[in-house]
A = this chain, B = another copy of it.
Amino acid sequence: MATRREVAEAANVSVRTVSNVVNGFPTIAPETRARVLRAIEEMDYRPSKIARILKRGRSGLVALVLPELDTPYFAELTRAFVELGGERGFTVIIDQTDGDPQRELELINQSDHGTLFDGVIVSPLGLADTDADAISSERPVVFLGEETHPGFDHVRIDNFAAAREATAHLLDSGRRKVAALGAQRTLVRSSSIRLLGYRQALEDAGVAFDPDLIGYVEEFRRPDGAAAMARLLDGPTVPDAVFCFSDPLALGAMRTLHERGLRIPEDVALVGFDDIEDGHFSFPTLSSISPDKSFIASRALELLSAHIDGTAVKPGEYLAPHRLVVRESSV
């Protein structure tokens, strides 16, 4: 492999000019740049990541595309991806979409980042199932979450079973007015599936479904949980337990219950979803469905590696384990 000096001599420029071309500085005459690039290519000089990408077809960069970074669940999941990716020799970098379908599609198709990434792991929020046709990426893509995109690998948890377990746990304690907080009027699939799991648990226990016990939200955040809890308490059926579709929703609901002078769990029991660290230190501590975040990250990276190595044959769907962690808010 040639040195930078040899390249400089071959192209009849200074060593500094070679560096400037390699570093993409804009102030170089096009003919000079072309001459240096030709010398770089012909002499097998690999000065930078870019040359290595062109040479080997690998950058070592993986993009993790998430709707939100200031949601604790995604922040904790990101940590798992960065750590486990590092073990596999990937540098995982993160991009945030705000759930905008256009931006999700752009990032997947990499019209923006070009071919800098070896692959993309994406947790879509806005991107509907049908949009999968618009995916034109030539790079491997692995999806996280409930939305199914035919032809791609998916890693998700069993939201139906998890919601059913959480609701059953509340019903098992004898509570009969169990609310579901986190329904959405838009078609977010994980929310709809959690609602189905909740209804199944009611049916299993022979408890009639009461639409007045459904709390609707815009987003899965604390302010939404606080407001929806207030509406439930002011509604025709006051709940004695609430299954919240995320921990931030439950922590918002908890705040409203404290404000109203209601005791948790004596007056109203709570279970959340995601098992974020916040709920381990709330008062009371929060019972929650705990998805195995390390499993999700590790399986998704494994699938991506298989695609990059060319050993992947057929896309599959994978379930990450989850468990119900019972804490003070529901016992």
Q: Which residues of A contact B (CB under 8 A)?
A: 19, 21-27, 33-34, 37-38, 41-42, 48-50, 52-54, 56-61, 63, 68-72, 75-76, 78-79, 82, 91, 93-96, 112-116, 138-139, 221-223, 226, 251-252, 254-255, 258-259, 277-278, 280-283, 285
Contact = CB atoms under 8 A, between A and B. Distances in A.
B283 A283 contact: yes
Contacts of A34: 38, 41-42
Query: Which has the most chain B C-beta neighbours within 10 Å: A26, A41, A259?
Result: A41
B41 A37 contact: yes
Given A41-B34, A70-B75, A26 B114 contact: no
27 contacts: A23-B139, A24-B53, A24-B57, A24-B59, A24-B115, A34-B41, A37-B38, A37-B41, A38-B38, A48-B115, A50-B116, A63-B93, A68-B79, A69-B79, A69-B94, A70-B78, A75-B75, A91-B95, A93-B94, A93-B95, A221-B277, A222-B277, A222-B278, A222-B280, A223-B281, A255-B282, A283-B283
A211 to B, nearest CB: 27
Given A78-B70, A255-B282, A22 B94 contact: no
Contact of A283 (B48, B221, B223, B254): B254
Contact of A281 (B48, B115, B139, B252): B252
A137 B40 CA distance: 22
A317 B59 CA distance: 35
Contact of A78 (B48, B96, B254): B96
Contact of A70 (B41, B72, B251, B259): B72
A53 B59 CA distance: 15
Nearest to A103: B86
Contacts of A285: 255
Nearest to A276: B70
A52 B115 CA distance: 11
Contact of A278 (B27, B259, B278): B278
Contact of A69 (B37, B75, B258, B278): B75
A113 B49 contact: yes
Contacts of A259: 283
Contact of A50 (B112, B115, B226, B258): B115
A116 B116 contact: yes
A79 B96 contact: yes
Contacts of A69: 69, 75, 78-79, 82, 94
Contacts of A277: 70, 221-222
Given A37-B37, A72-B72, A223-B281, 5 more contacts: A24-B53, A34-B42, A38-B41, A61-B113, A226-B281
